[in-house]
Amino acid sequence: MGSRLEELITEHGVPGAQVAVLANGEVRDEVAGVLSAHTRVEVTHDSVFKVGSITKIWTATLVQQLVDEGLLDLDRPVCHHLPGFTASIASRHLLTHTSGIDANHFFETGRNGDAIERFVVALQAQEHGNPPGVAFSYSNSGFVVLGRLVEVLRGKPFHDVVRDHLVTPLGLRTVATDADEAILHRVAVGHDESGLPVRRWAVAYGTAPSGSHFAMSARELLAFARLHLDDPKLAGLRTLQVEDVPDLGIGVVGWGLGWMLHRNGVVGHTGVSKGQKAFLRIAPAEGLAVAVLTNSVHGEAVAQKIFTEAGLTP
């Protein structure tokens, strides 16, 4: 894949990329290009790319762990744990984007440990577009509510829960939950339509910390994917919950609990964040997973070619 990846990013005007493949129990990863067209620093295997909304699967995993421990009922209104929140919204609505909460609310809540709590308090005062359970409406803000639920039930900030329950147990080293953690690594910078580096690395932390803020390497993203293949308690997250969903241009035919469902039993998620595009696809029946991380708005064309060659529905 090494020379092939170089060819693909050159063909589609993508400055840099990482690809990792999990097959037959082994992970192979390849890298190509540069982290920034300005600095020309080369992409390495341990470089970190923004994974955008793939963050949501990490949050969904933390929620499922709470369910497994008997601390959370997906169908019980979240106001049971978050007093004052909309009474009819349950965790299942949030995981399936059927809560009726608009896609993006922008509140300046800072970057401290109370950022998610303050966001949810501000969100409580907003009107929602639809009643819960009526229609699919993709919502970053809804996943911030799930992040707050995780905080309350674990009694610690969301990023600490991520460390304690996923990052450390999996032995991961490149996972960054915010920009302060990311700058300790070789970090990819997003690029716009013209190929120039973007001027902002991420949206404000308080806007979507548990919905689209993570960064990591492709290899470590697949270590997380392996957890989902190996742990039968997580398989329920991949079950069909919502059929009537928009294609979103990436071949989605249904929605699970956090997961996008594609054709032929393939599941995954896509992440878009300030000039970076990330893609994760898993074929559970074959034990196959592929991650493609790119630092360009043109990254989807590269990912589609790789998924097709791997036998996965793009």
Residue 140: phi, psi to the nearest 5?
Answer: -65, -40
Of 132, 161, 150, 145, nearest to 67 by C-alpha is: 150
Tokens of 273: 């964040």
SS3 161: helix
Q: Which helix (H) or strand (E) holds 152?
A: helix 140-154
On whether the CB atoms of residues 204 and 51 are closer than 8 A, the answer is no
CA pair distance 62, 200, nearest whole angstrom: 28
Helix, strand, or coil here: 126? coil
Hey, which residues does 289 pair with through a beta bridge? 22, 282
- DSSP assignment of 1-49: -HHHHHHHHHHTT-SEEEEEEEETTEEEEEEEEBS-TTT-PBP-TT-BE
DSSP 314: -
Any idea which residues carry the catalytic annotation?
53
The structure tokens 């007093």 sit at 83
For 215, the enclosing helix (H) or strand (E) is strand 215-216
Q: Is 229 left (phi over 0), alpha (psi -120 to 50) or beta?
A: alpha
